[in-house]
Structure 1
């Protein structure tokens, strides 16, 4: 499979699975940031460099196709097995928990101030 077609497929998966917008694989991978594990970000960097080298007629032949296939397969496998709803549910739970914790802290501070002032 062509490296361009493969990275276009990965860019499409990044948009579908992680809701990352942008034009092209390089932009989407950069915006993904910590949503992807470190080893997959490294694999993505390998693919980006191969894209840049593939434009050049002589340097394009130096690209290791097995390494590229392995990197693309790893990213694709991760994105296809990613549970989108579980990820969104986790984000909602984390936001709710942080709001609740902040609310409890404010209530405790107000109660402490009222007790310290002797109003309760």
Structure 2
């Protein structure tokens, strides 16, 4: 794995962050600084490691010190979290969200009706 491929991995993760999380910035490090809080802790740490590795890959003397297995693992974890959902999964999530909202509203209304009936002395 060369320094260019490490930088390409960081660039891909930065593109996915912009597409999925709508975080603006020049590189992965800047996007993590602006929107890193939107990522889970484990994914954020792996993305920060990937950003540091991409910076080190730009320096020829530091390329020998890179842990390529760990870089590949960090890249896989970031891409797995950030890859966009498919159309069917997006529809399913929207439907589940609508049903959950409807059920919650119905439950709250039922509890309020029972509380009102108890307060008025009908139950």
SS in 1 for 2:14: helix
What is the TM-score with the length of structure 1 in the denominator? Answer: 0.61
Q: Using the TM superposition, give the Cα deviation of residue 10 of structure 1 relative to its aligned residue in structure 2, in angstroms.
A: 1.8
Cα distance, 1:55–1:74 mapped onto 2, change above 3 Å: same
Matched positions, count: 115
Computed over aligned residues only, the root mean square deviation of the Cα atoms, in angstroms, reads 3.5
**Residues 1:46 and 2:49 aligned together:** yes
Which residue of structure 1 lines up, in the alignment, with residue 23 of structure 2?
21
Cα distance, 1:93–1:77 mapped onto 2, change above 3 Å: closer
Instruction: List gaps (5 residues or longer) in structure 2.
Output: none
Higher relative contact order (CA 8 A, sep 6+): 2
What is the TM-score with the length of structure 2 in the denominator? Answer: 0.60
**Residues 1:62 and 2:65 aligned together:** yes
Matches within 5 A, 1:87-98: 87=90, 89-90=92-93, 93-94=96-97, 96-98=99-101
